[in-house]
Amino acid sequence: MSASRPRVPVTILTGFLGAGKTTLLNGILPQQHGRRIAVIENEFGDAGIDNDLLVEARGEQIVEMNNGCICCTVRGDLVRILGELRDRRERRADAFDYVIIETTGLADPAPVAQTFFIDEDIARYYRLDAIVTVVDAVHAAAQLEQHHEAQEQVGFADRILISKTDLVNPQEIVSLSERLGRINARAPVAKVLFGVAAVDQIVDIDGFSLDSILEIEPGFLGEDAHEHDDAVASFVFRTERSFDAELLQDFLRKMVADHARDLMRYKGVVSFVGLDSRVVFQGVHMLMNSDIGRPWADGEVRRSILVFIGRHLPEEKFTAGLEQCLAGKPLPRG
């Protein structure tokens, strides 16, 4: 990059499973903000569906990484993708002006941030602008107690956005804000109503301070080790057959009721018999919702993909039940 051309600012958008990161992006990308944004998506597991969860953004470039956690096994992929985006921008100057990296909900942001200081080629072209953490007002208390990653996401944040504030009472928001302030006193805290936020809450913040990070994490530039809870795993159900809507809804309600504590995150893009559009559903523990997605194109294979993330989930039980929900396959009684 020439000396006259500034480095590209990068936002790391983090937050625990189901906090609302993709919903937040859905509120930002379509805005008439005049910014050209490239988005890098990361999924925990071997299947990514967030391109279907994201709206059809005008001109934004979305790159998906779904073969591992961005803070562990795929840092090499992150460096490669950032390099490819750099090459694209060098060929076409108006390709993008900003990059947002949406991490998996199980990512520790520290190793991701390290990339912009340890890799010289990346450091010359990109500038880490801010780490923005989305916190789920409904589930944050339990997540902060149970998951080191949730604490790290708050601790490293340059800005904290509290989502789902409409689902809890005002005093809970006050208590949560105070707790977040005790973990990280330097990050401003704001509420995000229904996932809507201004783009300047996410990009061009100029909030990252290496000196501040080194104060709280002196080994930041030297550490490269990170482990996940081995009990947390993901599995994927794929099919090219359509589901019976009533059977699938009943089955998912039962599974959520039986496994809500351990079912940390679930989402899917589904084909239903008799419906010309895909249905997108997602949930966290007991909270589940669905929306009509894009219409199936003529000749397009109606492929359904469902992703489940949690602790000690009975994969065989889920798989067998989902197969019984396919059209023409009634659920067994009892």
Domain boundaries, the chain: 8-216, 232-324
- Scanning the chain, the segments in alpha helix (DSSP H) are 21-28, 50-53, 75-91, 109-118, 120-125, 140-146, 148-155, 170-183, 210-216, 245-259, 315-324
Beta-bridged to residue 22, according to DSSP, are none
Domain at 8-216: CATH architecture: 3-Layer(aba) Sandwich (3.40)
Tens of pLDDT, residue by residue over 182-222, are 888 888 999 887 667 788 888 888 888 776 676 666 665 65
Q: What is the pLDDT of residue 217?
A: 64
Percent of the chain with pLDDT over 90: 26
Euclidean distance between CA atoms 246 and 192, whole angstroms: 33
DSSP 3-state helix, strand, coil percentages of the chain (rounded to 5)?
Answer: 35, 25, 40
What tokens does 51 get? 């391109």
41 close to 68: Cβ distance less than 8 angstroms: no
Q: pLDDT tier at 291 (50, 70, 90 boundaries)?
A: confident
Per DSSP, what are the bridge partners of residue 243?
272, 326
Q: Any bridge partners for residue 78, and if so which?
A: none
Token pair for residue 109? 């942001």
- Mean pLDDT value across residues 257-264: 82
**pLDDT above 60 (res 179):** yes
CB contact at 8 A, 260 and 139: no
Q: What is the pLDDT of residue 41?
A: 82
Say yes or no to pLDDT of 224 above 60.
Answer: no
- Interval 51-78 mean pLDDT: 54
Tokens of 319: 């798989």
Q: How far apart, in Å, are the Cα atoms of 124 and each of 68, 117, 119, 212? A: 26, 9, 9, 21
- Asked if the domains at 8-216 and 232-324 fall in one CATH topology, the answer is no
Q: Between β-strands 277-284 and 98-102, what pairing exists: parallel, antiparallel or unpaired?
A: unpaired
Mean pLDDT of 67-78: 59
Please report which confidence band the pLDDT of residue 48 belongs to, taking 50, 70 and 90 as the band edges: very low
Name the pLDDT band for 269 (thresholds 50, 70, 90): confident
Q: Which residue has the higher pLDDT, 294 or 228?
A: 294
**CA geometry: angle at 70 spanning 106 and 236, to 5°?**
65
Dist. CA 100–CA 248, nearest whole Å? 34
232-324: CATH superfamily: CobW-like, C-terminal domain (3.30.1220.10)
Mode of pairing for the β-strands spanning 37-42 and 61-65:
parallel
User: Given pLDDT bands bounded at 50, 70 and 90, which one contains residue 227?
Assistant: low
For residue 205, the 8-state DSSP code is -
Task: For 8-43, write each residue's pLDDT tens digit.
Answer: 999 999 999 888 888 888 888 777 777 888 888 876
Assign residue 329 a region: left if phi > 0, alpha if psi is -120 to 50, beta otherwise?
beta
